[in-house]
Amino acid sequence: MRKIVIYICILIILGCAVYYIGDMTGHPVSELWEYAGEKISEHSILSGSIPSDERYESLKREYSFDREMYPYLYMLSERGQKAYYIIYDGVSKCEKNIRLGSEIGVDRIEIMTVVTAVYNDHPELFWMDSAARYTYEENSGIIVDISPEYNDLVNNLSAAKKTFKANADQILSYAKKLGDNSVLAKEVYIHDCLCEICDYDESASNHQSAYSCLVEGRSVCSGYSRAFQYLMQQLGIPAYLVIGDINGGGPHAWNMVMINGNYYNVDVTWDDEVGRQIDEKCHAFFNVSDDDIKATHKRDNLSLNLEYCPYNDMSYEKAVGYTITIDSINMVPPSK
């Protein structure tokens, strides 16, 4: 059966829009993973690979992806979940060509959703870039293999992983001392550490990754959100990447956390920016409800399937103490 290779930029909205106080202007970042492609004349298919169904069954025994920690996996169909495991494993090992095989049955539309799910669930894959090639069967449209692209950190990945872990462990070592029952205290500490060590900078390298925030100290909303997600995951606290849009400001990323079975929104990027402008710590967007931020934050793509956040009883103002509130912030769209 004839196979065709397409070069794609996988659709994951990873940009950032920051609103500013008063008449200050911002710099929206709108780097999107887009689907656009061209035919590539030559492409080698791996031969002698383990059949994909067998590889999936093996990987399912190797990796434990709990539903509470990795929600995007469970938004996929059964065949999508099989592809998810295989792609995750391949990216973890920096494979240049990840064989799915026609037996998995993922088509050209679903492969985009699968890669989005892998990206959204796994901030630790900081070397994963925004483009890939895939090969599909012309008649059926079934994906045969996918070849991810990686950012420049992959060139010295062992050192990058070591530095990433060391920087994360510095923060985690203290957070773990706060006790198993201090979820809120740990969350506050992680939130405040990221605001302290990172500056919003759309010109920063690798700014869509957790690495940019934790190691380089310069990032945009995607980097802040993925760093927060990673650190919370390491503490055993469910935290998700939320992808959406800011009214008048373009794409944006923030987080959702689960505390005692309830879900809350956290926007570290906006708290950091507002705090810098008023020269005091800000927790206005800490553990707020969907209603609290509905005027500005709108979920999109797979994030529409995340849980509803109806509560704000764990907001900083209610659970910890004073902070500037959303209502008292004069938010205006950034200039374009």
Per-residue pLDDT of 214-234, as tens digits, reads 999 999 999 999 999 999 999
Span between the terminal Cα atoms of the chain, in Å: 48
Higher pLDDT, 4 or 72: 72
Query: Has residue 236 got a pLDDT over 90?
Result: yes
Q: Are residues 142 and 118 in the same domain?
A: yes
Mean pLDDT over each residue of the chain, to the nearest integer: 84
pLDDT score recorded for residue 54: 86
| Boundary of a domain, candidates 153, 187, 212 | 153
Q: Are residues 111 and 122 in the same domain?
A: yes
- 121-135, 195-209, 263-277 — most confident range: 263-277
Higher pLDDT, 326 or 257: 257
Buried b (16+ CB within 10 A) or exposed e, 257-272: bbbeebbbbbbbbbbb
pLDDT score recorded for residue 206: 86
Question: In the chain, pLDDT over 90 holds for what percent of residues?
Answer: 67
DSSP conformational letter for 39: B
Q: Which domain holds residue 249?
A: 155-332
**Which range (58-62, 247-251, 301-305, 311-315) has the least confidence?**
247-251
pLDDT band at 335 (very low <50, low <70, confident <90, very high): very low
pLDDT score recorded for residue 10: 44
Region of residue 112 (left: phi > 0; alpha: psi -120 to 50; beta: else): alpha
Query: Has residue 30 got a pLDDT over 60?
Result: no
Query: Has residue 47 got a pLDDT over 50?
Result: no
| Boundary of a domain, candidates 119, 153, 187 | 153
Q: Are residues 95 and 222 in the same domain?
A: no
Higher pLDDT, 148 or 39: 148
Query: Has residue 98 got a pLDDT over 90?
Result: yes
pLDDT score recorded for residue 324: 86
pLDDT score recorded for residue 102: 82
Per-residue pLDDT of 136-162, as tens digits, reads 988 888 999 999 889 999 999 999 999
Q: Are residues 250 and 105 in the same domain?
A: no
Q: Where are the alpha helices (H) located in 24-72, listed in sequence order?
A: 52-62
Q: Are residues 111 and 228 in the same domain?
A: no
- Contact by Cβ (8 Å): 143, 100: yes
Q: Specify the CATH number for the domain of residue 272.
A: 3.10.620
Helix (H, G, I), strand (E, B) or coil at 103: coil
| Boundary of a domain, candidates 126, 153, 180 | 153
Per-residue pLDDT of 296-307, as tens digits, reads 999 999 999 999
pLDDT score recorded for residue 49: 55
Region of residue 196 (left: phi > 0; alpha: psi -120 to 50; beta: else): alpha
pLDDT band at 207 (very low <50, low <70, confident <90, very high): confident
Q: Are residues 168 and 304 in the same domain?
A: yes
Q: Are residues 162 and 289 in the same domain?
A: yes
pLDDT band at 35 (very low <50, low <70, confident <90, very high): very low
Query: Has residue 255 got a pLDDT over 60?
Result: yes
Overall number of domains in the chain: 2
Whole-model pTM? 0.87
pLDDT band at 9 (very low <50, low <70, confident <90, very high): low
To which residue do tokens 């993922």 refer? 106
Question: In the chain, pLDDT over 70 holds for what percent of residues?
Answer: 82
Q: Are residues 131 and 279 in the same domain?
A: no
pLDDT score recorded for residue 48: 41
pLDDT score recorded for residue 8: 52
Query: Has residue 42 got a pLDDT over 50?
Result: no
pLDDT score recorded for residue 289: 98
Q: Are residues 130 and 194 in the same domain?
A: no
Q: Are residues 241 and 138 in the same domain?
A: no
- Contact by Cβ (8 Å): 135, 41: no
Mean pLDDT of 129-133: 77
Q: Are residues 228 and 148 in the same domain?
A: no
Q: Are residues 134 and 94 in the same domain?
A: yes
pLDDT score recorded for residue 132: 78
**Phi, psi (deg, nearest 5) at residue 334:** -70, 155
Helix (H, G, I), strand (E, B) or coil at 129: strand
Mean pLDDT of 20-36: 30
